[in-house]
Amino acid sequence: MKSRGCGVQLRRTKERMGAPLCALRMVRSDEGENNKLDKFVIKGGRRLSGEIEVSGAKNAAVALIPAILLCDEPCVLENVPDISDVSMSLRIMYEMGAKVEMLDPTTVRISAEGLKNFCVPYESARRMRASYYFLGALLGRFCKARVSMPGGCPLGDRPIDQHLKAFSALGAKCNIEHGMVDLFAEKLTGSQIYLDVVSVGATMNAMLAAVRAEGLTVIENAAKEPHIVDLANFLNSMGADIMGAGTDVIKIRGVKHLHGTTYSVVPDQIEAGTFMVAAAATGGDVLVKNVIPKHLEPITSKLRKIGVNVDEYDDSVRVWVDGPLVRTNIKTMPHPGFPTDMQPQMTTLLTLAEGTSIITEGVWEQRFRYVDELRRMGADISVDGKVAVVEGTGKLTGAPVKACDLRAGAALIIAGLAAKGITEIEDIYHIERGYSNLAEKLRQAGADIEKVSTPVATIREAVSG
């Protein structure tokens, strides 16, 4: 099937989407460039108070959407976050020939019935890291796949060698040429897969490829993050036979067919953690709703050590501060350790604490790229390789800064909320990859934050003038 044009924006119409309205905006190929002109303007120093509801998990949704390719029947996903990475995933599905219908702002119906296309459009795939999940899903369905090397946040070397090792163990041959990854197998056969490093992406891709392979697949040294469990639960709801997700050994007995299902995406624990840290940084009192408290335990534990109060309920947590914040040390590790995706936010909080904190990054070598921006706001942080030393100053001041990646952008928003004065954050397209309606949610809790767009024409006039 011929893929649809990459430069076309999908409109909110019945004719194009087959739904009453498309609530999730489909991303145009040039949209990332235009979004570079947008910025967040924050007037800091306001205490957050009230309730904030967490959206579905980005890291789960971007794997669940490609997983639908393994099924010839329609599937309905609920609690889908309205973020650009999800919009891009839906766009890829549409361009490949799937039917994509928005039933309401957070619910999407997708049918890959009769789809024959095993090639993901280059321009779309290269814009997001999670495009590599289409490799496992397409290989599982067609025994072949063609996807460009993935993009995403610039956090250092993130090879896909463990993904390819898993595919090879199942019987696939790989060729990488001109920026494209080509996979082919006569058939997929269950096998023992040992991951040399704990990799979330490789674990999920191995699951996607193995779910319809012949026989038993055992993935050892598997990652254990909540979104891996969510993918397993979603596939099992379609008729897969997966056991052990959430442990370091996952067993998958292949099935011939998967059926349609309705499934709700797990809440995003990183978004929840970001709001928890924002409440603490502003000395606030916030009820963070639609969460699974157990998923937040590494974050909750560190917040309590710093002096933040956290009360846990069935599906919410209350975060409040009634005293000074104090130092602590943090080392990021794979789940159930402290998540690397919360390191920038927690480092920002520790600039407001009393004493010296040491942050050790155990996952990505370039995670501290945001530190220079925090220094512009008065933070006292020194970095040596994967270790940062934070001298708590107790205060930050507003400044113009740039988001260099998704979680760095979240950290700068927290800094802006806590700072004295006005903070302007540029390159917010990074932030919008993973946070749904972030400014609106923060305003509901009392923040003074606005998204400001600068028209392209104004930029051109300034340059020409």
What are the residue numbers of the active site? 153
What would the DSSP string read from start to end of 183-200?
EE-S--B--EEE-SS--H
For residue 201, the tally of other CB atoms under 10 A from its CB is: 21
CB 90 within 8 A of CB 68: no
160 exposure class (CB count in 10 Å sphere: 0-12, 13-18, 19+):
buried
* Token pair for 270: 């990183």
- In angstroms, how far is CA 116 from the centroid of its own chain? 28
* Rounded-to-integer distance, Cα 430 and Cα 36, Å: 9
105 exposure class (CB count in 10 Å sphere: 0-12, 13-18, 19+):
middle
404 exposure class (CB count in 10 Å sphere: 0-12, 13-18, 19+):
buried
* Rounded-to-integer distance, Cα 115 and Cα 136, Å: 16
Q: In sequence order, what E strands does 105-248 have?
A: 107-111, 144-148, 173-177, 180-184, 192-194, 216-220, 241-243
